[in-house]
Structures are given as structure tokens and as C-alpha cells.
Amino acid sequence: MKATGIIVEYNPFHNGHDFHVHESKKQTEADCMIGVMSGHFLQRGEPALLSKWYRTEMALRSGVDLIVELPYVYATQQADTFAAGAVAILNQLQVASICFGSEDGRIEPFQRAVQLTDSSQPSEHVKSLLKEGYSYPKAMSLALQTTEDSIDLSQPNNILGYAYVKAIIDQHTGITPHTIKRTQAHYHDIELPTTPIASATSIRKSLHTQSSIEEISPYVPASTTRLLEDYVTTYGRFHDWEQYFTLLKYKLLTMTPRQLADIYEMEEGIEYRLLDASKRASTFAEFMSLVKTKRYTWTRIQRMCVHILTHTMKEEMKPFLHVDAPPYVRVLGMTKKGQEYLRLIKKKIEVPLVTKISKKQADTILRLDLKATSVYGMSLPEPLRSQFSMQDFTTPPIILS
């Protein structure tokens, strides 16, 4: 059985994702589609709109056969580490190929870009641009613009695509990379379009500002609409940063600069800007506008805020920064086909395969993910909050016929 891997967040699953799943399967001639999906906090430093179990079911009902979790240690990282963790997991799952969406839509420029930036001269160019104050994505994009047939690494999906291809090569996986051009909606579009494919950003904006889910129903599969409605019925809300801002302010106002400096991703004295902004801002959006600089992107600051919220220390992350193999593979859900594929290859998986959490796992390799779930549930009222914090233990993998 031939498997293709995709690296996803599904925040939430929409028509563009549906197109990507089915085109990936067609392009790679896959029998089984495997998704590595971020948990409750995402790569751009945001809480997911709804829980990882609801997003898992959305994927399974729309053509993905197996969903495994991208651990917190990779899901809340800059592109290179995010990609390296996801590729390492897919390599453990014996996928033949990985297919990602990109603004470019051709795989060859990504492969050439990786070859080019592995040499010393472009790396020095990137370093010089970083010293001038550019963010890493911008510095990479500017360095590559001097090459023939280059890719635009200021575009979010191109950035991740470059990182996926680099990880595939660096880890000597033998996985074949493929890419599909994003159609119609741009990643950062904030308004719903007239076409059936909208950006996840515009869908989230509508869900947070509109009183009805009906407005976004043309842009998502029917199963997504149903699950969104069910989530609001069950929990009374979707999640966004504003719901966690009081908790973030509390953390900041009760920590010293020295304590903050030990939080993961805290560098160059930015803890002083965070502390100052926490005293002046009344909303998370205002807080972010006070902290952002040319050097620190909005996304990077949000990731710092996630690590403050979860109290994730530099020492905790250090063992995972150089990815040789993932600490585990955790199954969130599968179809019958996914279940059959997993049965065929599970003896080849060299790390723990987690379907049910033991106390030993909870105290060691899964500790950060369990903590992330508990913090994510803090935006809910009791008794939902306490119930949610236990879901990693009480929720088995979803199995769909």
C-alpha cells in the first residue's frame, strides 16, 4: 500500500484543503493519505480555532486516512524545525512521498533553492541581511532573488515548502517531494471571496465576528459545517488569542525579566518590551502592536507568547531542536484504510506508537503536549475546563468506517 504524507493544521478544514487532499492523492498515485497535524497551538503562534479531535474528524471525513499529531515541540516552531519534525514523523510512517501546497506550484525551484542555500556563500549573504535587521524569511527571500528562476520566500507556503524539501534531503529519507499550486484564495486574504475557495484566515475572521456559521458554509465541506456547529453547541465558543490575554498578562506581570529570559525563544532583551506592553495594553491585538519590531515578526512574537502561556523553558526544548527521530508517533484518528495501513507498517516504526497514554508517557515524552491541552482548555468555563484537560487520557483515536 503506497502512502503520501501531508503536513497540516486544518484551522479549520475548508474547500482548499479538500482540493489539496484529492489532488495530492491523484498526483502521487497514493493508496493512503496520511496527515501530520498540529495540536492545540499552531506554527504561527496561535491557539487552534477548535480542538485537535474535531479537526481530526474533519480531515477523516474529507479523504485523509490517518491523522497523527505533530508534537508541541515541533508545531510551535519556526519553519525549519516545524518541517523537520513533521518530515521525521512521516518518514517513520514509511510514506513514499510528501505533497504540499505552495504559491509557486513547481517542485524544481524548491530543490534548486535548497541546493543553493546549502553552500557557504548564500548562507553568508543571509547572515549579512539578518545583521541589517531583516527577519529570517525576508533575508532568505532577498538572498534567493539574485538567482535564476527563484522562489519567493516571503510567501508563507513557499517558506514551508522550502523547509519540507530541505528536511527531506537533510534527513536522507528517500521521500519524493511534490507540490500543488494554491488556487484562488491567498493565504492572508481576510475577506470571504465570491469563489468556493477561501483562505482559512478569512473563514476564521468570519467565525469570530459573525453570529452564524452559515456565512462560511459555501467555503467548507458539509462535514466541517456540522462539526463547527457541534463545537459551538458543546463548548460555547471558538478559540482565539483574546480569550487567553488575561492569562498571558497574569504570567507576564508575575515574572521577572530574568525568569522571562529563560522562556523558549526569548532573546536579545525582548522580555522588557513584553513586560512594558503587558502593563499598557488592554487587548491582545494592542499588546502585539506595541511589541512588534522590524526584527521580530508578528508570528515570532506570538510563538513567544504561547511559550510564556505554557511556561515552556529553553532547557525543555533543547533536546528536540536537532531532529534525528521524533520522540513518538501519536495517532489521533484513522479510517478503516488508515487502520489497515498502520497494521501493515507498525513493526517498522522505530519510536513509540501512542494510541493510549500511559502514566510513564505522560511524565516524559508527552508532557508538553498534555500541558498544552490543559492550557488550551483554560479559556472554557467550568466544568468544561476540567473535562477538557483530561481529554488526552479519555479520548481514544477516532475510527471512521
- Which parts are annotated binding residues? 7-20, 101, 157, 182
CA dihedral for 169, 170, 175, 179, sign (positive or negative):
negative
3-class secondary structure per residue, 31-55: CEEEEEEECCECCCCCECCCCHHHH
C-alpha 218/C-alpha 185 separation (Å) is: 14
CA dihedral for 313, 351, 79, 243, sign (positive or negative):
negative
C-alpha 359/C-alpha 148 separation (Å) is: 54
What's at 157, amino acid-wise? N
Q: Cell 475557495 belongs to which residue? A: 197
Q: Are strands 176-181 and 329-335 parallel, antiparallel or unpaired?
A: unpaired
Q: Are strands 353-354 and 329-335 parallel, antiparallel or unpaired?
A: parallel
- DSSP conformation class of 146: T
C-alpha 375/C-alpha 390 separation (Å) is: 11
Annotated binding site for ATP: 7-20, 101, 157, 182
